[in-house]
Amino acid sequence: MADINERKTPEEIKARIVNALNDRPLNAQDISKAINSNWSTVKSYIFELIEEKKIKEIIATDKISYYQKITETYYN
């Protein structure tokens, strides 16, 4: 497990977010716990990854959103 004070580059954080979504959709808090990173940092990179079309928001309510990795399939 990563050290809590470990500094990660933006590219490392984004790669870890995408990898955390390999098995199933997660919300920002679950992603934050999975990659051992601050929730607000994760949330800002989630928006970047959505713009880069690497992940997408699949379920959203007033209080919570779930995100899924975009795979390279025609039917996705």
For 15-55, write each residue's pLDDT tens digit: 999 999 999 999 999 999 999 999 999 999 999 999 999 99
Single pTM value for the model = 0.83
Distance of CA 61 to the CA centre of its chain: 17
Q: CA of 9: how far to CAs of 13, 28, 41, 73, in Å? A: 6, 18, 11, 29
Question: Where do we find the tokens 């390999």?
Answer: 22
**CA 24 – CA 32 distance, rounded (Å):** 15
